[in-house]
A and B are shown apart, each in its own frame.
Chain A
């Protein structure tokens, strides 16, 4: 009986020890998986938390630049154009600029993607003369972009 009890006692100790070890492993394991403060967070628990007014520091996920040739056609010497070009150059291997006001569709020929950007908001911005045969991959931006789309009878147009 005693032996059995002793055995039970030893067994209980062993189980207790194992439990402690498992708890410690679990606890340390969880700590290792914790995200550092300020890292990206999942959306599910953040549904009602307002986003801070100030932008967070942007960090690219990939070290290498994306292998695309991008033509940015904007307003020369504007802060906005510099803003776009700085950003694009961080991400794409080749970024060149063109004058939005003098843009001709043939300028897109040597690029993978063309971005047509005036100032984002102006309803009276000039509209580049683009034919309906034009089929190069193109991004139009903001209100001026919507008016370009309207002039081409695209669904992405204004109204």
Chain B
């Protein structure tokens, strides 16, 4: 990443107080890497609106975090999208995970722009609100979007070992030389992707007619199926796959769900599991 941030997100409160951050904008050509890594069906614009956070004059030296799954848990948020020439559009230049705020820009204050300085001071004030709020999840896996990103590369990277932790050998054989086919395979059942050594489609959920592994409704369905002798064992196995709980009875599962329903979230990055945010953890205005 160089000196600039994208103009999105400026309505976040971290740009409003104590200083109003009022950047001066520029239009920059859309980096080739953005197009290369773009997973959506839409077309990226030719120019993008950015603002300078610092003035080092370099196009690298600062750092962004990957965007895939960054916000799949309520303890993390993006504060600035970093304009970069290495990763995807949306990669995180300034972001928060729990009590940590990562400022991806490299320069000291004397080389920050006026707006950059104000943004930095605001970040110091903003992160104070999250004192004592350690992260709820840690990075244990990669997000399901990575399955699509890596699938686009199977023709470009010749080292088969590179994909050994991403795709099963059966899939690699089936889609040899056909990255679009592999991408489509995962896109078709995107909501059912999970990781067990490699990216898989959850055929057990699919067979039960459940179309997502990350919806709280799925938990409801699985807990209900515990009462159904024909499907109870499968449901129990799936609850073990997608939660860190191990209740013995359907009633206990139901009690857990009822008590925590408003605070349950699913995180790919956290390991393709449902988690419960502790009571009082989420701040009213933090998201």
Contact = CB atoms under 8 A, between A and B. Distances in A.
Nearest to A60: B19
Interface stretch (A5-13, A20-28, A61-69): A61-69
B84 to A, nearest CB: 13
A157 B24 contact: no
A159 to B, nearest CB: 7
Given A153-B138, A158-B63, A55 B99 contact: no
B27 interface: yes
A91 interface: yes
B55 A53 contact: yes
Contact of B102 (A80, A146, A153): A146
Dominant SS among interface residues on chain B? loop
Contacts of A120: 61-62, 105-108
B66 A61 contact: no
Contact of A66 (B18, B111, B138): B18
Nearest to B139: A153
Instruction: Select the residue from A40, A133, A135, A143 with max chain B CB neighbours within 10 A.
Output: A135
Contacts of B130: 137
Q: How large is the interface on B (under 10, 10 to 19, 20 to 34, 35 or more residues)?
A: 35 or more
B25 A43 contact: yes
A61 B18 contact: yes
A134 B108 CA distance: 26
A156 B25 contact: no
A157 B113 contact: no
Interface string A67-111: 010100000000110011011100110000000000000000000
Given A113-B127, A143-B63, A143-B106, 16 more contacts: A47-B25, A47-B49, A59-B114, A61-B118, A83-B110, A92-B124, A120-B61, A137-B101, A141-B106, A145-B103, A146-B65, A154-B98, A154-B100, A155-B92, A156-B92, A159-B66
7 contacts: A51-B113, A62-B19, A139-B123, A142-B105, A145-B104, A149-B65, A156-B95
Interface of A: 40-43, 46-51, 53-56, 58-62, 66, 68, 70, 79-80, 83-84, 86-88, 91-92, 112-113, 115, 120-121, 132-143, 145-146, 149, 152-159
